[in-house]
Structure 1
Amino acid sequence: MTKNPALDAAQTRLEGFADEYLTRPGVDWGRMFSTIGLRVRGKIFAVAIHDGGLMVKIPEARVAGRVAAGEVVPMVMRGREMREWVVAAGDAPDALWASLLEEAYAYLDEITPR
């Protein structure tokens, strides 16, 4: 546990979704920035973030639609929007987190060399 209750809650929530992914080939936990996320073959596809949200990597072509639907916001780092990274709020429904996790896993599984 950290000294950040929002991050701890998001990490615990992510861990609740993780079991089904951790049984898939090449999926494990890995470090990204100062937290732990799910990765496939060494590439992170989902991570709990400090404000309590879930950050996932999805295809750039899907980002605008998910943002327009109000499901996510683009991840901004050092003033720059990341093309394929989006954030769902910590209080977003489980169904949204689940669909984002599945989309992110499928995307990274497809683009990451075996």
Structure 2
Amino acid sequence: MVWSTDNPTQARLDGFADRYLARPDVDWGRMFGTIGLRVRGKVFAVAVHTGGLMVKIPGARADERIAAGEVTRMVMRGREMREWVVVPLDAPDALWESLLEEAYAYLDEITPA
């Protein structure tokens, strides 16, 4: 289900969504004024308005992925978000897939049933 045909990032996220939406407790939800994938009510991936996929991963993994040059840390209101990183819209599918899976696994683990 494409939520916004004029947002290429949302359309790209939509292309990856079915494999997550088929899992228990996963659906679409709002966060930061846009739509993201969530597990048991907690968003793990969202298309950002400025382009790119924002995902929530453990802080140490965020640091590793930033050091590898794969992602940048999300900055909101001048503050770096420790566990939220952004991967560019034009990053390879394999990078989007690995980040989506890592974010899903992390939120699935820390979100109570």
Short-chain TM bin? over 0.9
How far apart are the structure 2 equivalents of 1:33 and 1:86? 14
How high is the sequence identity, in percent, across the aligned residues? 76
Map 1:1-114 → 2, pairs under 5 A = 1=4, 5=6, 8-114=7-113
List structure 1 runs of 4+ shifted beyond 4 angstroms: none
Tell me, what secondary structure is at the counterpart of 1:110? helix
For 2:73 and 2:32, locate their aligned partners in 1 and report how far apart those are by CA, in whole Å: 18
Cα distance in 2 for residues equivalent to 1:95 and 1:59 = 19
Q: Provide the TM-score with structure 1 as the length reference.
A: 0.94
CA distance in 2, matches of 1:111, 1:33: 21
Instruction: Assess if the C-alpha contact under 8 Å between 1:51 and 1:90 holds in 2.
Output: no
- Distance apart, 1:12 and its partner CA: 0.6
Q: Which runs of 5+ in 2 are unaligned?
A: none
Alignment length (residue pairs)? 110
Residues 66-109 of structure 1: CA deviation (Å, up to 9, x unaligned): 00110000000111100100000111111100000000000000
- The Cα shift of 1:61 comes to 1.3
Instruction: Work out the CA distance in 2 between the residues paired with 1:51 and 1:92.
Output: 15
1:52 to partner: Cα distance = 1.5
TM-score where L is the length of structure 2? 0.94
Q: Which amino acid aligns with 1:75?
A: M
Q: Which amino acid aligns with 1:17?
A: F
RMSD in angstroms over aligned alpha carbons? 1.0
Secondary structure in structure 2 of the residue aligned to 1:71: coil
For 1:51 and 1:89, locate their aligned partners in 2 and report how far apart those are by CA, in whole Å. Answer: 10
